[in-house]
Copies of this chain bind each other. A is one copy, B any other.
Amino acid sequence: MAKHDPDLSLLFHALADPTRRSILTRLAETPARVTDLAGPTGLRLPTVMRHLSVLEEAGLITTSKDGRIRTCAIVPEALDPARTWLDEQRAIWEARLDRLDAFVMNVMKEGEE
């Protein structure tokens, strides 16, 4: 049951920003409030909110509000589609490398003229 959109573009885009990655590693320690997350970044609240919504839309975090406090937490399995894609690519790329070796050697041999 895929609740979150596993769209790779959303996922990779969310991971492409250092602020967002630092938020994720911070959340890896423990869930945190929005203000707690903003602190280390040195950014203003609305800016952090924006990053959080990007992370949430990518399915990387969930948030819930209790009173006036919104608590954010990671969604560990959200990384899986990215990992899977990378693993698939590596498999394909490496398989091709063997063929490429042969190709390069051939070209180099012909280039000796």
Contact = CB atoms under 8 A, between A and B. Distances in A.
A97 B31 CA distance: 11
A31 B101 CA distance: 12
Contacts of A15: 8, 12
Contacts of A30: 96, 99
A90 interface: yes
Tell me the dominant secondary structure on chain A's binding face.
helix
Interface residues of A, number: 34
Given A79-B86, A83-B83, A86-B79, A93 B12 contact: no
Interface of A: 8-9, 11-13, 15-18, 21, 24-25, 28-31, 73-74, 76, 79, 82-83, 85-87, 89-90, 92-94, 96-97, 99-100
